[in-house]
Chain A
Amino acid sequence: MRVGILGGGQWGQALARLVLAAGHEPWIAYHGEKPPHVLPSTSDPPAVTEACDLILVAVSGARLRESIRMARPHPGNRVVVAGRGIEPGTGVWLTEVVRQECDAVRVGALGGPAPVDEILNGGLCAGVIASPYDEVCKLAVEALHSTRYRVYASADLAGIQLTGATVPVLAALIGMARSLPGAGVGVHAMVLSRGLAETGRLATAIGAEESTLFGLAGVGDLIAVHARRGSPYFEAGVALAEQRPADGPWGIAEALLKLASEHRVELPLTETLLRVQRGGDPVAAIHELMSRQSAREHR
């Protein structure tokens, strides 16, 4: 099977390597720098959507709309977005962005840990593909599942996209909290578990399955993102604690807050992160968080 990949960056190349490992033929549509010549690629995205039934999208949420407009997927394509769930700024789910920009409707999302450098170096990993269409899950599993990369299927598209969006925000929060003076594993554990709890409330409100949070796309991805120093999301949080400017998942956090407010769900940790990012004092923000009235752990 020929599998189209939109995006020739590190993540696009890693997906292409996984497709190869599964015994299929990747074809990358790149914009800008050409991927290494061992990976088949083109700068003509419509040619890729025309030639391949399955399209994996490996561009950032901020660039997704433009990429889909350029590639013009058609009704025969099955489009799987391997991104961070939600479009920064608009708060639209990434699969919905695809549907808004073309007439392909069979969409899905790939979630789970994505340690790109490890995958490019032949490391083992696993992911989860979610779609309301069984055939999309089946096709994507076939395209990616190998002894290097285990792929699980799920029908919880909302849950996979929500975890995709919340994991970078939680990673930044943990990075910020860990780097405050006097912080240790206690604050780390608290932010991680309460972060998952607030995501759980939002998951329930939007009709996603809470159990998805505790799978590969939730806890699995979160471990991969924050377990080692150097993760850009974690480091963005560290920079906030040190009151240095940093690029981070702020647009995603804003989109999550907007979504939460539409569903009348409180996200105190995400709000704290944004308050600090907008110039608030990190120590005061965490103090304020700790001063909240005690509540039942599970509501």
Chain B
Amino acid sequence: MAERSTPLFQPQPAERWIHDLLRRAQRRLDALDEAERVAVLEDALYQERQRLKREDPVPEEIEALDRLAHALLRDGQREQVDAALTLVARWGDEIHGRFSPRVYRIATRLLPKAITGMLSERPRSLYGLRHWDLNIERRLRVDGDLAFLQQLTREATLILAPTHVSNLDSPLLGLALYKAGLPPFVYGAGLNLFENPLVGWWLRRLGAYTVDRKKRAELYKDTLKDYSVLCLRNGLHSLFFPGGTRCRSGEIESNLKKGLLGTGLEAWQENLEQGVEQPEIYVVPCTLSYELVLEAPTLIDDHLAEVGRQRYIIEDDEFSSPRVVATFFKRLLDLDSPVVCRFGSPLDLVGNPIPRDPVERAEAAKRRRRYVTDRDGKVERDLQRDFRYTDRLTDALVQAYRRDSHIMITHLVARVAWTMLSERRQTDDPFRLVQVEAAGRFLERRALLLRLEKAMKAARQGAQKGRFHHNLPRTATEVLQIALTHFASFHKSRALADHGDDVVIEDPRLCLYYQNRLANLPLEV
């Protein structure tokens, strides 16, 4: 049934997509005045030549850039645009995904077992292998109004907008979509992941298109956005991480990128102009909550060093190196931890909720058109207005992330311990707190349990008021014990550790990382 709710299972010939990309690029370049056009093309030439200095140059790429340089020096508009389109065609061929229904069907049979296997405790012996827990229900919990979302995939194009915590997010989301009875979504994956021919082959055939983080030219970013508009216009449900990159601090994201989300508005307006049968595009917020995050130590170090916070595209991360990827999977096998994936209530592109009732939904769709059309139904283009609409959408997503977030045991215990440390040192400056000497990080267990009990009560009350979700055990003692076991199970150093009558914040950076997840929630601890 999921296969019928996306055109992804129909043939998507690369030639047609590249042709459409070229048409869009040409239209955009032709609409610029001479000074703007030259600036865009010079930027593309400069950025690409800089990139090629760092990489093994490909003769065709050098040739294409030389042609562009020549056109910029001596030729007119037509030749300049033609030279730029040669670059766009190369990029388009590289970006385009090659979804294969056959590979998808095979993968959906194999991957759930493989991923849950990865999330389960690795068997230590042949005997253990027989009892290896591959129960998908225990490893990945999928929450949300799934029947409603299934319905929406049949009458609109969806953008899934998840929080981004770990490199594990993409495969888990693929699994969560499958488990939720939803069709596959296309998504952009870093070109570095495709360097391994086997991984690249699978990714491409499972709906990934490539995003080269090393290409910094505006023309390339516009080509990527065009590709996203084309995906949505062709009815392909798409996945964007609005945070842009994994959140370094561990917090629930509050600064979202507007570039890719804005392509939804562009595609919707084009759908209305062309009078397509199902023009609506909806955004589904999604939160992923982990008890433990594999990359937590690196992420929090990066955050504390204030590196990588403002970058649009991260050039290199742990996944850039095959050795790191191998280590990642090896360590992943040691993790025994459930993940909660919650699909939130869908929104329109201006941030309004989508009614569940079909009659109300149809009425809302009719009214919604007036956001971008005049009273005669003609689409009025206004980039400044669209930017503000996308602001509203990102605000609504941030609210949804908070409302849909799931309080995990490790987060709550870390939050309570961090608050106690902060009160004792009379500062909430994280940079000072991570440097507190070991002797100052001991917390009396009894006091911690009392505080934890209070925090659990607040969490239950908040959840009752619909402010967030939780699945906490009954007693504070249980909660603390489970958290300590989790913290001891995976990372090299522990966020919190048992120490007789005390609990010690062993690695304050990790404690900060896990407590940060609750920092933006209305939860008094």
Residues of A within 8 A of B (CB): 53, 74-76, 103, 105-106, 132-135
* Complex: A134 Cα to B385 Cα, angstroms: 7
When the two chains form the complex, which single residue of A76, A103, A106 contacts B385, counting CB atoms closer than 8 Å? A106
Q: Could you list which residues of chain B lie within 8 angstroms of chain A, going by C-beta atoms?
A: 350, 352, 364, 367-371, 373-375, 382, 384-385, 388-389, 391-392
In the complex, what distance in Å separates the CA atom of A106 from the CA atom of B370? Answer: 11
* Complex alpha-carbon distance, A76 and B384, angstroms: 16
Q: B367 to chain A: which residues have CB within 8 Å?
A: 74-75, 103
On chain A, the residues within 8 Å of B352 by CB distance are 103
Are A76 and B382 within 8 A (Cβ)? no
In the bound assembly, the distance between CA atoms of A259 and B352 in angstroms comes to 26
CB within 8 Å for A105 and B371 given contacts A133-B388, A134-B384, A135-B385 = yes
The main secondary structure of chain A at its interface with chain B is: loop
Task: Determine which of B364, B368, B382, B392 lies in contact with A135 in the assembled complex, contact meaning CB atoms within 8 Å.
Answer: B382
Kindly list chain A residues whose C-beta atoms are within 8 Å of the C-beta of B371: 75-76, 105
Residues of chain A with a CB closer than 8 A to B368's CB: 75, 103
The answer to whether B350 touches A133 (Cβ under 8 A) is no
The number of A-B residue pairs with CB atoms under 8 Å apart is 34
Residues of A within 8 A of B392 (CB): 105
Q: In whole angstroms, what is the CA distance A135 to B381 when docked?
A: 11
Q: Which 6 A-B pairs have the closest CB atoms?
A: A76-B370, A75-B370, A75-B371, A134-B384, A132-B388, A133-B388
Roughly how many angstroms separate A194 CA and B367 CA in the complex, as a whole number? Answer: 48
Distance between Cα atoms of A235 and B368 in the complex (Å) = 46
Inter-chain contact A133/B384, CB cutoff 8 Å: yes
Further contacts, 7 of them, CB under 8 A, given A76-B370, A76-B374: A53-B375, A75-B371, A103-B352, A105-B371, A105-B389, A133-B384, A133-B385
Q: Which residue of A lies closest to B383 (CB)?
A: A134
Residues on A with C-beta less than 8 A from B370 are 74-76
Docked Cα-Cα span, A105 to B390, in Å, equals 12
- C-alpha gap A74/B385 in the complex (Å): 16
| A99 nearest in chain B by CB position | B392
> With the chains together, A133 CA to B350 CA distance in Å?
14
Closest-CB distance, B382 to chain A (whole angstroms): 6
For A53, A76, A133, the residue with the greatest tally of chain B CB atoms inside 10 Å of its CB is: A76
Q: How far is the CB of A138 from chain B (nearest CB, A)?
A: 10
User: Whole-angstrom distance between the alpha carbons of A134 and B373 in the complex?
Assistant: 16
Residues from chain B with a CB closer than 8 A to the CB of A133 are 384-385, 388
Query: Which residue in chain A gives the minimum CB-CB distance to B350?
Result: A105
Please measure, in the bound complex, the distance between the C-alpha atom of A76 and the C-alpha atom of B364, giving whole angstroms. Answer: 13
Give Cα distance in the complex from A72 to B91, angstroms: 48
For the complex formed, measure the closest distance between the CB of A51 and the CB atoms of chain B, giving whole angstroms. 9
B384-A135 in contact (CB<8A): yes
Shortest beta-carbon distance, B433 to chain A, in Å? 21
State A75–B374 Cα separation when bound (angstroms): 10
A76 CB contacts on chain B under 8 angstroms: 370-371, 373-375
Contacts of B375 in A (CB 8 A): 53, 76
What are 24 of the A-B contact pairs (CB < 8 Å)?
A53-B375, A74-B370, A75-B350, A75-B367, A75-B368, A75-B369, A76-B370, A103-B352, A103-B364, A103-B367, A103-B368, A105-B350, A105-B371, A105-B392, A106-B385, A132-B388, A133-B384, A133-B388, A134-B382, A134-B384, A134-B385, A135-B382, A135-B384, A135-B385
Task: Report the separation of the CA atoms of residues A103 and B367 in the bound assembly, to the nearest whole angstrom.
Answer: 9
Interface centre among A75, A106, A132 (most CB of B within 10 A): A75
Residues of B within 8 A of A75 (CB): 350, 367-371
CA distance A161 to B385 in the complex (A): 21
Q: Give the complex CA separation of A134 and B380 in angstroms.
A: 14
B350 to chain A, nearest CB (A): 6
Can you name the residue of chain B whose Cβ is closest to the Cβ of A77?
B370
Name the A residues within 8 Å of B382 (CB-CB): 134-135
The minimal Cβ–Cβ distance linking A100 to chain B, given in whole angstroms, is: 12
Provide the bound-state CA to CA distance between A106 and B384, in Å: 12
B370 nearest in chain A by CB position: A76
Residues of chain A lying within 8 A (CB to CB) of residue B385: 106, 133-135
What CA separation (Å) do A107 and B385 show in the bound complex? Answer: 11
B388: A residues at CB distance < 8 A: 132-133
B contact residues around A134 at 8 Å (CB)? 382, 384-385
Q: Which residue from chain B places its CB closest to the CB of A132 in the assembled complex?
A: B388
Chain B residues with CB under 8 A of A106: 385
Residue of B nearest to A50 (CB): B375
With a cutoff of 8 Å between Cβ atoms, the chain B residues found around residue A135 in the complex are 382, 384-385
Q: How far is the CA of A105 from the CA of B388 in the complex (A)?
A: 10
CA distance A106 to B380 in the complex (A): 14
A76 to B382, alpha carbons, bound, how many Å? Answer: 14
- Alpha-carbon gap, A134 to B350, bound state (A): 17
User: How far is A133 from B387 in the complex, measured between Cα atoms in Å?
Assistant: 9
- Shortest A94–chain B CB gap in Å is 18
Shortest Cβ gap from B159 to chain A (Å): 19
- The chain B residue with its CB closest to the CB of A51 is B375
Chain A contacts for B350, CB-based, 8 A: 75, 105
**Contact residues in A for B391 (Cβ distance below 8 Å):** 132
A74 contacts across to B, CB distance below 8 A:
367, 370
Q: Which residue of A lies closest to B392 (CB)?
A: A105
What is the CA–CA distance of A107 and B177 in the complex, to the nearest angstrom?
A: 38
A132 proximity list for chain B (CB < 8 A): 388, 391
- Complex CA–CA separation, A133 to B352 (angstroms): 18
> How far is A131 from B6 in the complex, measured between Cα atoms in Å?
39
Q: A4 CA to B352 CA in the complex, in Å? A: 25
Assembled-state Cα–Cα distance A248/B388 (Å): 36
Contacts of A53 in B (CB 8 A): 375
The complex places the Cα of A92 from the Cα of B352 at a distance, in Å, of 19
Question: Could you tell me the distance between the alpha carbons of A250 and B56 in the complex, rounded to whole angstroms?
Answer: 71
CA distance A72 to B378 in the complex (A): 22
A76 to B385, CA, bound (A): 12
A132 to B392, CA, bound (A): 11
B242 to chain A, nearest CB (A): 19
- How distant is the Cα of A135 from the Cα of B389 in the complex, in angstroms? 13
- Expressed in whole angstroms, the Cα–Cα distance for A103 and B360 within the complex equals 14
- Closest approach, in angstroms, between the C-beta of B101 and any C-beta of chain A? 39
The residues of A that contact B384 with a CB separation of less than 8 Å are 133-135
Q: How far is the CB of B484 from chain A (nearest CB, A)?
A: 36
| A132–B388 alpha-carbon span in the complex (Å) | 7
What is the bound-complex CA distance between A53 and B392, given in angstroms?
21
Q: Report A-chain residues with C-beta under 8 Å of the C-beta of B373.
A: 76
Give B368's nearest chain A residue, CB to CB: A75
The interface residues of chain A lying within 8 Å CB-to-CB of B369 are: 75
